[in-house]
Amino acid sequence: MKEKTYWQSLEEYGADRDSLAEQKGREFPENHVSESLSTTRRDFLKMLGLGFTAGALSGCEMPVQKALPYLNKPEELTPGEASYYATTCAGCEAGCGLLVKQRDGRPIKIEGNPEHPLSRGGTCAVGQATVLSIYNSARLSSPLKDGHTLDLNTLDTDVIAGLKKATAEGKEIVLLSGPLSSPSAKKLISEWQTLYPTTRHIAFAPLSVDAIREAYRLGRGKRILPSYRFDKAALTVSLDADFLGTWISPVEFARQYADARRLSGKSEMSRHIQFETGMSLTGSNADRRVPVAPSERPLVALRLLEILTKRPSKLPTLPETVERALADTAAELLSHRGRSLVVSGSHQVEEQLAVLTLNEWLGSHGKTIDLATPSLQRESNDAEFAALLSKMEKGSVGALVIWGANPVYAAKNGPAFAEAMKKVELTIRLGLTLDETARSSRYVVPTSHFLESWSDASPKVGLYAIAQPLIMPILKTRSAEESLLRFMDRRDDYDDYLKAYWQDAIFPKQRGHADFTSFWNAALQNGFWQSGETDSLPSPQTAGVAIEAPLVNAYTAGKTARDSGDLELALYSKVGLRDGTWADNPWLQELPDPVSKVTWANYAAISPNTAAARGLEHGDIVSVKTANAAISLPVFVQPGQAGNTVSIAVGYGRSCGNQAYGQNAYPLSGASSVSIEKTGERYAFATTQMHGSMEGRPILIEATLADYRNNPKSGHPEFPEPETLWTPHELPGHSWGMAIDLSSCVGCGACTIACQAENNVPVVGEDEMRRNREMHWIRIDRYYSENPENPEVAFQPMLCQHCENAPCETVCPVLATVHSSEGLNQQVYNRCVGTRYCANNCPYKVRRFNWFNYAKDEILDDSLAHMVLNPDVSVRSRGVMEKCSMCAQRIQAGKTVAKREGRDLKDGDIKMACEQSCPADAIVFGDMNDPESRVSKQMKDPRLYQVLEEIGTRPAVRYLSKVRNT
């Protein structure tokens, strides 16, 4: 087998080691003296002497601490003990099931609900991070009218009068929301429409999947979004659908995808081919990835149809590499008929129709595409939203109530929308913060976070989920539905309304419970209820629309643009920020993009060849222009980007906080191509991609499926058993270990945020990120190999490896890092004096140093945000080293429960935060001394290896090598 060369960035590709070291700079840059520390060494020593004395003296008097008990303790709450409640995520419109951890009345950590049929215990980074947004100090706490505070009752009276006036005048009232899957909210809207008959409800989603629903309306006679079953597909062909990262229901799809590719105990795995423009998370996991320009992509589906149905080609010929890939893909699809799935992320109805026809021909419907229980997620109506603007401009809209969606920011003509809102007499924004839409609205009502409100959801036909509050609204807020009730001049609470709805509409569908209360309690405890109902199957029909002509025209236009020197534009959303709803969440801003590893910014991604041809360099700021809009963005030279195209992420440039990060790319939407002009300025990316390097060592081990079948240990280098100077540790009780399956890991970064929430990991900010000072305890290393124009990508979660012979332990002068009797490498914060020798000596580069007192620093201090801190984990102060503790608090909690119940620990009692959140179930933790534990079984897998086995550190965290189905 040919030896692969891995690289993390283009600078590293082909560079020799010495020059690379120079480029990367030092691992611990010392030239950045912190602004607040202007002391010389001598002064420091003087102060140290003084500090000692003062410390010893003030130590004589302990501060008097008060202990305040509850006046009346709520019965269900035990101070110091966490409780978990099932609810439904509203981080995006997928509606995953959650179990939220509540400590002393505060929600502090989000976990996936293992029983939930969609997410099956997984969560994504966004879902994990939403808990921080409750404690956002920028949240609105009082209602506003024209920017001035007013009483909520006055506002309600004003609004009701305004709505009545609009009804009397016969003007339209528009309820503009984000995609709604809540059946009770839909009922409420229909009641609203009875009261105010001129009302229209419009759901707006910036990156909608409306085209798929429209295609099914045309091709199947029913406006549905089918449920895709990636777990049933032996071959998945995706046309720019980022189904593992952002598309429709990424947590659900990631679990299905990982299940179809899991190798434990079998030698079959599904195959995945991706045609796409930018390098997405999904594309980077593909077995074969074909870069195509956005205008070429629709022809891919059409060409595949032509080849499969053996029709003579009438279509323009695509570039040779694409044509070759098409012929291969068609042959594979043919051999996987009925076991294949084609999906497309396109917003063009014609392309979705072509994909539908292709799936029809392949027999996917009923097998890999479920039409009986279609998805109700992300329901929006693009056409109605587009028509709304002109109606508002004409003055035929009398009242506009907006919640969920943020059209002034996210519509392609946001400023025009804001302008048109002035022509509407009554505009009401129900929102968390004073965002773009709120600033253009007459009335603003502070709205509760989803973890403070009652709601429900029905993400699929036959699946009903409840969203219950975890905390009373911490500010004077109420839920959007509650506001709607008040605007209907009703006094009832939404939880009563919700319960009544469930009693009337959902309870009659079930047989298991005799009375409603027991049914409701069961559904509330589980978080969901499945009715088993199915939709009638729509039959195929002739679409009656021309598919080919518009797609070919678009292709010709795209080609002309490329030939004339413009770049074709592909807008996409990032795994962290998605459509920008949570852009003020610092955890998500600081989550490195899975592929580019950039934080705190968006950029114009351009392929290496295109950049070279245009004299553009990584970090050059360019002006990106369409006919109507222009924004300035730095160039990011992205391996794998299709030639002569540019990919730009939306969701950035939100101007709701003190500072906007990145640029808003929504104004570019609608344009198919852009011109790019160098401004001469430069930008330094806050990126983690060069932090830590393989230095040519076999850190990542991979094989092809064929090689794996011949030899399960294929690709594993052979070493002589490393000599050791140390006597082995005796681990008579437990021996904790972790196995991470690199074949399952999709690199989504949910674990990083889960760990951040669990372990009080601080946010350091954009500037500190540039100085290699990120604090994440678990990072996902992304490695490229082979051709820079279309590299192979591999992900490897990297955390403290808990080495048996840990290099950090031998160099610590104060024994602040020592080995535990259960095989863990312990970091003792209160012993650490901050020499950083351990980080220097760590071959895995997983130790993190607190350069500042992040929790108390002036810039980051936010007493409201401190409410999210986990009281079971110490908050580290300045000058202390930290790293993955293997969730010591979870191990202790597991042992405490076992001890209280007088039993031994069972496998699965203790789950790591990263393991719990992983949507792909790639991480397994457990006791290696228990031969029956899941982790012990994983440790027997022939794919098992230790990173840097040859240096003899003997890690307790081990990996199963990656297998590609190529």
Partner 1 sequence: MDDFSHRNRRCVRARAKQLGKSLMTLIILFAAFGSASCNYHEIFYSQNYSPDQPIAFSHKLHAGTHQMNCLYCHFGAEKSRHAGIPPNNVCLNCHRIVKTSSPEVQKIQQAEKDGKPIEWVRIHNLPDYALFNHSRHVSSGVTCQTCHGPVETMDKVRQVSPLSMGWCIDCHRQKGIGAPNNPSDRAPTGTDCVSCHY
Applying CB under 8 A, the residues found at the interface with partner 1 are 49-50, 52-54, 56-62, 64-73, 78-81, 730, 732-733, 818, 820-822, 824, 826, 828-830, 872-875, 885, 888-889, 891-892, 894-896, 898-900, 902-905
Tokens found for residue 61 = 């008097």
Q: Which is nearer to partner 1, 60 or 472 (CB)?
A: 60
* Least distance (Å) between residue 850 CB and partner 1: 14
| Phi, psi angles (nearest 5°) of residue 449 | -70, 160
* Least distance (Å) between residue 695 CB and partner 1: 31
* Least distance (Å) between residue 205 CB and partner 1: 42
- Tell me how far apart the alpha carbons of residues 498 and 503 are, in angstroms, rounded to a whole number: 9
- Tell me how far apart the alpha carbons of residues 821 and 617 are, in angstroms, rounded to a whole number: 52
* Least distance (Å) between residue 908 CB and partner 1: 15
Q: Please list the residues that pair with 166 across neighbouring strands.
A: none
Tokens found for residue 118 = 């969609």
* Least distance (Å) between residue 846 CB and partner 1: 17
- Tell me how far apart the alpha carbons of residues 818 and 838 are, in angstroms, rounded to a whole number: 11
Q: Which is nearer to partner 1, 530 or 929 (CB)?
A: 929
Q: Which is nearer to partner 1, 265 or 902 (CB)?
A: 902
DSSP 100-150: EEEETTEEEEEEE-TT-TTTTT---HHHHHHHHHHT-TTB--S-EETTEE-
Q: Which is nearer to partner 1, 615 or 813 (CB)?
A: 813
Query: Of 638, 649, 590, 635, nearest to 770 (Cα)?
Result: 590
657 CB contacts (<8 Å, ≥6 apart)?
Answer: 138, 584
* Least distance (Å) between residue 39 CB and partner 1: 17
Q: Which is nearer to partner 1, 227 or 827 (CB)?
A: 827
Q: Which is nearer to partner 1, 405 or 731 (CB)?
A: 731
Q: Which is nearer to partner 1, 675 or 820 (CB)?
A: 820
Q: Which is nearer to partner 1, 60 or 514 (CB)?
A: 60
Amino acid code (one letter) for 46: K
| Size (the chain), residues | 966
* Least distance (Å) between residue 831 CB and partner 1: 8
- Tell me how far apart the alpha carbons of residues 11 and 814 are, in angstroms, rounded to a whole number: 39
Query: Of 272, 326, 15, nearest to 966 (Cα)?
Result: 272
The DSSP code for 3 is P
Q: Are 467 and 452 in contact (CB under 8 A)?
A: no
* Least distance (Å) between residue 71 CB and partner 1: 5
H or E segment and range at residue 473? none
What sign for the dihedral angle of Cα 895, 958, 587, 583?
A: negative
Q: Which is nearer to partner 1, 654 or 890 (CB)?
A: 890
The DSSP code for 564 is T
* Least distance (Å) between residue 923 CB and partner 1: 20
* Least distance (Å) between residue 881 CB and partner 1: 13
| Cα atoms found within 13 Å of the Cα of residue 124, Cβ hemisphere only | 33
Q: Which is nearer to partner 1, 81 or 861 (CB)?
A: 81
| Phi, psi angles (nearest 5°) of residue 687 | -120, 150
* Least distance (Å) between residue 123 CB and partner 1: 23
Q: Which is nearer to partner 1, 82 or 621 (CB)?
A: 82
H or E segment and range at residue 678? strand 673-682
DSSP three-state, residue 648:
strand
- Tell me how far apart the alpha carbons of residues 929 and 44 are, in angstroms, rounded to a whole number: 49
- Tell me how far apart the alpha carbons of residues 859 and 536 are, in angstroms, rounded to a whole number: 57
